[in-house]
Amino acid sequence: MISVFEHPWLFGLFGDEEAAALWSAEVQLGHFRAFEAALARAKESAGQVPPNHGEAAASIIETAEIDLHGLARGTGTDGLPIPNLVRQLRAAAGDYHAAVHTGATSQDVMDTALSLTLKALTGLLQDRLKDLDVKLAELTQTQGPNALMGRTRMQAALPITAGDRLASWRQPLASHIAALDALRPQVERLQLGGAVGTRGDSGQAGPQIAAQMASVLGLQDGPVWHTDRSSVAAYAGCLSLITGSLGKIGQDVALMAQQGIDEVTLAAGGGSSAMPHKSNPVLAELLVTLARFNATQLAGMHQALVHEQERSGAAWMLEWMILPQMSVTTARALAASLTLCAQIKSLGNKRAHSI
């Protein structure tokens, strides 16, 4: 077993196909092609390649057969897939090879692919956050007036309503949606810095080329961010905050479901191989686990902030290992939260609590 997110049976608990697909080889290769095609066309528009050469190269880039095994071998040798990809594309482009990748560096391609991935991921997460907000609003309508015992430090405190508890679950969601919106300009950015991050490879036409590429790709144009990974780390922090809020829901439900407390009734639960009478609050437990996982991964993303000089291989690789898992964790936590809330048959009780 390498990853619970892709394991044949643990995937059933931890996996999220829609989020994982955003990081698939097919989708990422599509982003690489989009970058290279946009660059070829922009270089033609800037007069840096002969007329029609950029368009011809772009058409070949978009349709060329790519040897994925070659990319794997190249990654093992070069530390990333782009050098091998560029060799394959230039060979396919023939007489138009000068329009392929000239003025860019491998990090430009992969960082732009990351930006396109996070753009799609943000849309997915915001949709699920909004769906969860609607579901909690529905529960407030149906269960809100019911009585609950308020608990501080896990001890009985004073009576509250189910609506009070639900409000604490719902409150952070709007902030998370707004935070993701605020991060869009920071993480949905074109990367085009060239060899050492100065755009010197593109000469005076660098700004024009970047602006055209950003427009075509649907990204922001701005300063080069080869070594400034603060926005990527901030995005990871937002993912951890989201799963932390969902983990609070899970922890509350798990405690409320305890026999003797019985403050929540779930339509479904997990079984036991030894105790068939049990109905375990599996999804509630999962939310706690996912929250703790993302919290531990966030430290790694902060380690990846330390990019030495004009490019780091080591810190950059760390992002590749951590951020995709954090994104799938967050998406899965949202999906599990929606399912868990849909399983709530009753919350609190009709009678007032007494201490």
Pairing mode of beta strands 155-161, 344-347: unpaired
Q: Can you give 78-145 as a three-state secondary structure string?
A: HCCCHHHHHHHHHHHHHHHHHHCCCCCCHHHHHHHHHHHHHHHHHHHHHHHHHHHHHHHHHHHHHHCC
Look-up of token digits 């949202």 = 334
CA distance 110 to 120: 16
Q: Are residues 85 and 71 in contact, defined by beta-carbon separation less than 8 angstroms? A: yes
Bridge partner residues of 189 (DSSP): 220
Does the active-site annotation cover 311?
Answer: yes
Rounded to a whole number of angstroms, the distance between the first and last alpha carbons of the chain is 49
Secondary structure (3-state) at 17: helix
Which is nearest to 109 in space by CA: 215, 33, 41?
Answer: 33
Adjacent-strand bridge partners of 100: none
- Nearest C-alpha neighbor of 123 from the set 331, 269, 312: 331
Using only C-alpha atoms, the chain has a radius of gyration, in whole angstroms, of: 25
Q: Which residue among the candidates 3, 272, 279, 332 is catalytic per the annotation?
A: 272
Of 87, 311, 332, 354, the active-site residue reads: 311
Residues annotated as catalytic (active site), given as ranges: 272, 311
